[in-house]
Chains A and B, each alone.
Chain A
Amino acid sequence: MFSFVIKRLLVTVPMVIIVVSLTWGLIRLAPGNFYSGEKKIPPAIEKNLREKYGLDKPWYVQYGKMLGSVLRGDFGNSLKYEGQSVNSILGRTLPVSATLGLLAYLLALIVGITVGTIAALKQNSRLDYASMAVAMLGISIPNFVLGPILVLIFSLSLYWLPPARWGAFPSANVILPVLTLSAIYMAYIARLTRSGMLEVLRADYIRTARAKGLTEKQVVMRHALRGGLLPVVSFTGPALAFLITGTVVVERVYALPGLGNYFINANLNRDEPLIIGIVAFISIAVLIFNLLVDIAYAYIDPRIRY
């Protein structure tokens, strides 16, 4: 187990370098420059600009500089947001995205597991069919359609909730974004829980548990859920990747100052240090998170050994 974790952590470094290099290569291969716009820049000014940002040096020097900044964890200053370092932007936007993602995933876990378990226990009942149809609907409605429709209903028609902007965490602003983001996970988790539980409920150890006279509640909570939730645990890894694209959408829809929103703007502004910073940060986060999921998986499922 220990050597497995070390190995995976060591793999993380080259992986991040690969991702960052790929991103950097794409940015540099693209025609144009961050300063090239509508107006023609006089050659003297262009020369100064190139000197200032080190663009006059050979590509490998620039590449080395970029790689060094990633390895040090100091990505320099943003080109667009002048006077702000990439790290300060990361520090400011990350809490927004993380709160959003975490709350959405928690909500999805609670609702999804409950619905999935009930559906599995009442398999082939109307309740089962209805909840699975709703779950399929949740998977099929894109979040950028769901979000505006929720705004239309709850903000623009009923005037219950604010339609946009971010407040501090316990505020009404959080409700609609979290709901929008978590819908698809609720649906996935409900489906995964149902299928996992259906398989487990037929297993011999559940029959044993029933045979020794445990109540149905004990059988489900103590014995079935542990096995039935394995698919949900392994979904957590891919879910993080979805969650990143999901937060991008939700932050765009609700105009939230999160990481995703800044990432898209950085791309539109060709803000290279900010793009590299966010890509590196997210890659590390995804890799570490996947590792944590694998470790959790081994703890829950004793049949898995690394």
Chain B
Amino acid sequence: MKEERTATEQGRDANDPALTTLGTPPTAPVQRQDADIIHPTAELAVGEADIRTAGRGEVLAGTSLWKDAWKRLLKNKLAVFGLIVVCIIVVVSIIGPPIIAATTGYTYDFIPPDSRLNKSFPPFTAPDGTFSWTHPMGTDNAGRDILARVLLGGRISLAVGIISTIVSLIIGISYGATAGYLGGKTDDVMMRIVDVLYAIPYMMIVIVLLAFFGGRSPTGQLFLLFAALGAVSWLTMARIVRGQVISLKNQEFVLAARATGVSTGKIIFRHLVPNTLGPVIVYATLTVPSVMLQEAFLSFLGLGVQAPLASWGSMTTEGIQNLAVFPWQLIFPGVTMALTLFALNFLGDGLRDALDPQMRKF
């Protein structure tokens, strides 16, 4: 198991996906060095020790790549912190809204009919200024419960993050694996297209797309967001998968598959793609927060999620307008979002160290 993994890792290094044909390293390329020079962290030392004990003949049976990675992940305190926070936020945004609706009767779009309530209340305050548990995060301008809206925003942000990442995974994996496996001219053309797309300031085009085609209905807008953000974030994924596939495609198991008459499509998707999952999962976890950030950015500009639906970005915009008088309208969605992204980034970093120590960049 161990030996096999190191072999593939070295293979990938030779076909470094970080370098484009134009010679532009797209993101933070690190000079590749021999594996025995880079040992910046304690986590790597753990891996080393495993190899050494294996060499001395100790039994490593039952330690799959995934179990091994999980053990390494649990040793990384920050990653565990990230994992716990992400789990809490996911669970709370799923079960939170029904609980609030059942206890206080507020939903994300419920506007109290009382006209005297046409004012935003601070956290834990009732309309008459006394302490109350009804609105732990206060209310917004229309009197809607901010906690309920923050939780809905969480649902939407996470949904956009996950669904757009899945869209980008589907496009990126199919594209990258096809290019890598077919090789030659096809590969050249396909990767040149990726290079061209890389240089496009795509966020501007997404803004144009949303401004001109959006605004029909809140749900329609949401689907447009999924598609637009997914369609622009598959490029790096395609490069990573291509690099992996190139390093794998000359191995015996592919030869065996080809010899037994398996079709090209099946070789790519049944034999090669599953073997690229490690780096793909790592990159996908880092794509989720970046897509969530882009969604919030677009919602902040008024082009993303629309009322009565809420997103952390659109709530921030409303909060900025009332910043001097009702600062809680900004602080709660803003801090929740920052905390979520913080946790997701730590989790992504931790997963990278655990699943693929050689890819470590920071």
Q: Which residue of A lies closest to B338 (CB)?
A: A141
B345 is contacted by which of A139, A227, A241 (Cβ under 8 Å)? A139
B40 touches A199 (CB 8 A): yes
Q: Hey, which chain B residues are within 8 Å of A290, CB to CB?
A: 24, 199
Counting CB contacts under 8 A, is A142 at the interface? yes
A8 is contacted by which of B22, B327, B334, B346 (Cβ under 8 Å)? B22
What CA separation (Å) do A148 and B331 show in the bound complex?
9
Q: Hey, which chain A residues are within 8 Å of B319, CB to CB?
A: 148
A198 is contacted by which of B26, B40, B296 (Cβ under 8 Å)? B40
What CA separation (Å) do A278 and B201 show in the bound complex?
11
Interface string of A279-305 (1 = CB under 8 A from B): 100110011001001100100000010
B362 touches A194 (CB 8 A): yes
A253 touches B320 (CB 8 A): yes
Q: Hey, which chain A residues are within 8 Å of B303, CB to CB?
A: 267
Counting CB contacts under 8 A, is A144 at the interface? yes
Q: Which residue of B lies closest to A304 (CB)?
A: B23
B212 touches A235 (CB 8 A): no
A142 touches B296 (CB 8 A): yes
Q: Hey, which chain B residues are within 8 Å of A249, CB to CB?
A: 297, 300-301
Q: Hey, which chain B residues are within 8 Å of A241, CB to CB?
A: 201, 203
Interface string of A240-266 (1 = CB under 8 A from B): 010011001100110000000001100
A149 is contacted by which of B289, B293, B324, B334 (Cβ under 8 Å)? B334
What CA separation (Å) do A37 and B345 show in the bound complex?
44
Interface string of B196-214 (1 = CB under 8 A from A): 1001110111011101110
A199 is contacted by which of B33, B320, B342 (Cβ under 8 Å)? B33
Q: Hey, which chain B residues are within 8 Å of A278, CB to CB?
A: 204
A142 touches B337 (CB 8 A): yes
- Interface-centre pick from A8, A29, A140, A203 (highest chain B CB count, 10 A): A140
Interface string of B294-338 (1 = CB under 8 A from A): 001100111100000000010011011001100100110011011
Counting CB contacts under 8 A, is A178 at the interface? no
What CA separation (Å) do A18 and B192 show in the bound complex?
14
Counting CB contacts under 8 A, is B98 at the interface? no
A267 touches B208 (CB 8 A): yes
Q: Hey, which chain B residues are within 8 Å of A141, CB to CB?
A: 334, 338, 341
A202 touches B201 (CB 8 A): no
For residues 22 through 75 of chain B, which have their beta carbon under 8 Å from a beta carbon of chain A? 22-31, 33, 37-40
Counting CB contacts under 8 A, is B361 at the interface? yes
A149 touches B203 (CB 8 A): no
Q: Hey, which chain A residues are within 8 Å of B196, CB to CB?
A: 15, 18
For residues 14 through 29 of chain A, which have their beta carbon under 8 Å from a beta carbon of chain B? 15, 18-19, 22-23, 26-27, 29
Q: When A and B form their complex, which 8 residue pairs have the shortest distance between CB atoms, in order from nearest?
A: A30-B212, A145-B334, A267-B211, A140-B342, A140-B341, A141-B338, A195-B362, A191-B362
**Assuming A149-B330, A278-B204, what are 19 further A-B pairs, CB within 8 angstroms?**
A23-B204, A27-B212, A139-B345, A142-B293, A149-B334, A156-B323, A192-B361, A195-B360, A199-B30, A202-B39, A231-B28, A231-B361, A241-B203, A244-B201, A249-B301, A253-B320, A279-B201, A282-B204, A286-B199
A-B contact pairs, 24 of them (CB 8 A): A4-B23, A15-B199, A26-B205, A27-B208, A132-B362, A140-B345, A142-B293, A142-B341, A144-B297, A144-B313, A144-B316, A145-B316, A145-B334, A148-B323, A148-B330, A152-B327, A196-B30, A198-B40, A199-B38, A202-B38, A231-B28, A270-B211, A279-B204, A297-B25
